[in-house]
Amino acid sequence: MFEDLKVTTGHLWEGAIVFALVDVLFVFLLVRRLDRQIFTRLKPFLLIATGVFWLLLWTAMCIYFWDPVYHYVFPVWARWVIPPVYAVLFTVIALLFWWISLRLPGRPALTFCLLGGLWGTATHLWGMSRGLIDRPPMLQGVSPLSVAVMPIFEFVFYWCVILSVSLFTFEHLHRGARL
């Protein structure tokens, strides 16, 4: 389905801009809603939401983008191992980010999302070291800088979604407990 798609440096910069604009609003709203006390209490919801989110995302990536992208980066046996392993790995990362966010000054939701953005760049730098922009025809010729910058905003968005689902679940369950 996506074999003929060609991603360009321009597409990545445009994606970064769109994600950045959405992120500004999304992060602003989350920072207003999630004070330190609520953020602390979100831990179990955050960990479950993280695992489910990354399991679903990587399952979709392995279904739709294995042939055009990921089979160039990972061994064939890893196709169905990646989603659950990444779900666990990213859940551990979420726990680390949650812990760091509560120990640094400022709003923990903001810190959490910013750490998530940096994690996006780290994962894409690792992917580039494995041939992410050299091997798949879909990505050949894209600027390494755009591949390193765009996931900052992409992953901030992902972590905002995870925080939102966590907060919604937390509030829904606590509202039900009060009835």
Give the model confidence (pLDDT) of 4-14 as tens digits. 789 999 999 99
For residue 67, what is the DSSP state? T
Measured between alpha carbons, how far is 106 from 116 in angstroms, rounded to an integer? 16
- 58-81: average pLDDT: 96
34: left (phi over 0), alpha (psi -120 to 50) or beta: beta
pLDDT at 13: 98
pLDDT at 87: 98
Measured between alpha carbons, how far is 18 from 129 in angstroms, rounded to an integer? 26
pLDDT at 66: 95
| Banded pLDDT at 1 (limits 50, 70, 90) | low
Average pLDDT, the chain: 95
**Where would I find the H helices in 65-81?**
none
pLDDT at 139: 95
Q: Which residue has the higher pLDDT, 140 or 2?
A: 140
pLDDT at 15: 98
pLDDT at 177: 61
Q: Is the pLDDT of residue 176 over 80?
A: no
User: For residue 112, how many other CB atoms are within 10 A of its CB?
Assistant: 28
Q: End-to-end CA distance of the chain, in Å?
A: 49
pLDDT digits (tens, 9 = 90+) for 120-150: 999 999 999 999 999 999 999 999 999 999 9
Regarding pTM above 0.85, the answer is yes
Q: Is the pLDDT of residue 99 over 80?
A: yes
Measured between alpha carbons, how far is 97 from 92 in angstroms, rounded to an integer? 9
